[in-house]
Structure 1
């Protein structure tokens, strides 16, 4: 009896566990769309270097810094440590924070501080008028709201087709992720972010395989 139990623990249980987790991964291999086709940024919105920033063909982690962006810089540092530093080398990824006009000097101080510990090439701070920020946030069609300073501690995942992604199940609804709580970044956001990257890597692999087959057919 003991021998059978040992054999079960050593051989059967690991297989059952693998099948369970594998089925879970497959079930959540697609992260739902919360808001489809959010608008791109207006051409008048510029980053610190004076260049425009676009959501098109980029996986974007979008944030709203608000007028007190310097006071709330801890949230940005949390996001940098938990998510950005892990994935900033992914070429189709960008982190964008929208801030009100007039906060450029505060943002420069933040970028300088982050730059001391990270490569900030894939992080853009975009500046806009206050009424433009409010109007743009409304187009995201979210349950959450900006605070009186036009900021929020939440960030949002937008895919290459400009769809805002998250969790739509009423029991675990999540349209954004709190940067105030490092544990939420390390758990919920990291899990969902990995799903998005998995989707695109799988699509890229499938596309490359298709192109190789097409090339082979032509050569034959």
Structure 2
């Protein structure tokens, strides 16, 4: 039977996507999970007892001693990531600054908040020892300079650092953090990875409910 051009178009537009959806939805966790690159980082509650990584998807950034010089990257983070996920449940940004920099931190918060609801931005002060210990627990190969890092870090609900193990732009393929000075990296990597992590939790929740229903 001769297949008309119209039927081919209909197949590509409607039937093929439906088949793909059904294959994905009937499988159990048949997608690539976001790798854990470091297990059990130090919890933020050791610096601020009112905050925790547990039960949240957290993006952690280290503001450093010169907040004015470094603030451009955090505006990128706000525009490209925070505003995309502000409505997502249990999403938060942890912005850590050194003690003695409260005024600069509040100025940065005010500037970012001029056109943003800051409800999920958490500015936390810490001593040099506390900040260094937290950063060290991430096991990142990049150093913390003047208590500042170009990179921000993605911590899951269990307090594990997530990243990539086959990143084409790193020497050994292992990506621990995402460069806030690169809009392209925030768009192409961090945004996608946060979505993957949320879908991972959604799929796990769906499977859990399915298993309960099957009993």
Whether the TM-score (by the shorter chain) exceeds 0.5 is yes
Shift of 1:10: 4.1
Q: 1:38 aligns with which of 34, 38, 41?
A: 41
Q: Are 1:195 and 2:188 matched, yes or no?
A: no
1:76 deviation in Å?
0.7
Contact 1:61 1:94 in 2 (8 A): yes
Count of aligned pairs between the two proteins: 204
Equivalent of residue 149 in structure 2, options 137, 148, 152: 152
Q: 1:12 to 1:91 in 2, by over 3 A?
A: closer
State how far apart, in whole Å, the 2-side matches of 1:62 and 1:76 are.
11
1:104 corresponds, among 99, 102, 106, to 102
Paired with 2:152 and 2:42, the residues of 1 have a C-alpha distance of 17
TM-score by length of structure 1 reads 0.80
Instruction: Report the secondary structure of 2:158's partner residue.
Output: coil
**Partner Cα separation in structure 2 for residue 96 and residue 179 of structure 1:** 14
In the alignment, the residues of structure 2 paired with residue 19 and residue 208 of structure 1 have an alpha-carbon distance, to the nearest angstrom, of: 24
- The alignment's TM-score, normalised by the length of structure 2, stands at 0.81
C-alpha RMSD of matched pairs (Å): 2.9
CA distance in 1, matches of 2:165, 2:142: 14
Deviations 1:142-169 (CA, angstroms, capped at 9, x unpaired): 111111x110111011100011011112
Give the structure 1 partner of residue 163 of structure 2. Answer: 166
SS at match of 1:206: helix
Q: Judging changes above 3 Å, is the alpha-carbon distance between structure 1 residues 91 and 17 closer, same or farther for their aligned structure 2 residues?
A: closer
Deviation at 1:77, TM superposition (A): 0.6
